[in-house]
Amino acid sequence: MTERLSERRYRGLPPEVRQADRRRRFREAGLDVFSDVGYMSSSVPEICRVAGLSTRQFYEEFTSREGLLLDLYQRINEDARSLVSQAMRQVDGEDVRAHVRAGVTAYIHAMGDDPRRARLALTEAVGVNRNVDQERGRQRAEWTVLIETAGRELLPAGSAPLGGFHTAMVAYAGAVNAVVADWAKGEPRAPIGEVTDVLVPLLIAVLSLNDKQDEGAA
């Protein structure tokens, strides 16, 4: 029945439109199922039921349930980096704290406005297996590049966090992701200002900005 209904839905549409719609529906269903029951308790048939599509159609788009998880995890992080970069570019002047606040606020919204995205990226993708762990490491490296690039443009020449950007970002990622995951599932949610008031000073400290300012004032 599901397959017959879906075939009627797609009749007359170009193949690329049909494929894009199927992938969109599977992604939405994956977000729903992974966030509702958890990745480990999910199944391809359940994802297909929620999507209103067949298992045959699922395997035409994704190699496996893990493939869908990785696809969603990558997209969530890529979207978040795009929004963070855009937010920081829109800040006038060279006030480092203003750039930090804009970037952190954009990240909170990107991850937390849709609680499903926050749960998948910050909870369900953790500790799955080696393949997913490797992708998490790759995404963390991309975030480090973004912050290091922005930092080198904004900080005084030769400045760097204690321990270097990589170590600093590993330290900060654990804190920011725990806070955002907790905020996203809150009922009712705390005002976002309360979250940024914690995470902005923390990133400033991790980047050793307070030390640099003290040295400049002396």
Give pLDDT tens digits for 161-198.
878 888 888 888 888 999 999 999 888 888 999 999 99
Coil/strand/helix, residue 64: coil
Q: What is the pLDDT of residues 55-76, one digit of tens each?
A: 999 999 999 999 999 999 999 9
The answer to whether residues 39 and 66 touch, using CB atoms and an 8 Å cutoff, is no
* Cβ neighbours, 10 Å, residue 208: 16
In the chain, where the domains are located: 2-61, 72-217
- What is the structure's pLDDT at 9? 58
Lowest mean pLDDT, pick from 8-17, 34-43, 160-169, 178-187: 8-17
Q: Which residue, 74, 201, 195, is CA-closest to 143?
A: 74
Q: Which residue, 33, 66, 65, is CA-closest to 50?
A: 33
DSSP state of 113: S
DSSP state of 82: H
The answer to whether residues 108 and 199 touch, using CB atoms and an 8 Å cutoff, is yes
Distances (CA, A) of 92 to 47, 62, 138: 45, 43, 31
End-to-end CA distance of the chain: 75
* Cβ neighbours, 10 Å, residue 158: 6
Greater pLDDT, 1 or 40: 40
- What is the structure's pLDDT at 10? 57
Coil/strand/helix, residue 93: coil
Coil/strand/helix, residue 12: coil
| Residue that the structure tokens 């804009």 belong to | 102
2-61 placed in CATH 1.10.10.60: yes
Q: What angle do CA 48, 53, 57 make, to 5 degrees?
A: 95
For 204, how many CA atoms within 13 A lie in the half-sphere containing its CB?
19
Q: Which residue, 47, 5, 3, 6, is CA-closest to 28?
A: 47
Residue 215 has pLDDT above 80, yes or no: no
Q: Please tell me if the domain spanning 2-61 has the same topology as the one spanning 72-217.
A: no
- What is the structure's pLDDT at 205? 87
For the domain spanning 72-217, the CATH number is 1.10.357.10
Predicted structure pTM score: 0.85
Greater pLDDT, 57 or 218: 57
Coil/strand/helix, residue 40: coil
Q: Measured between alpha carbons, how far is 199 from 38 in angstroms, rounded to an integer?
A: 27
The answer to whether residues 161 and 209 touch, using CB atoms and an 8 Å cutoff, is no
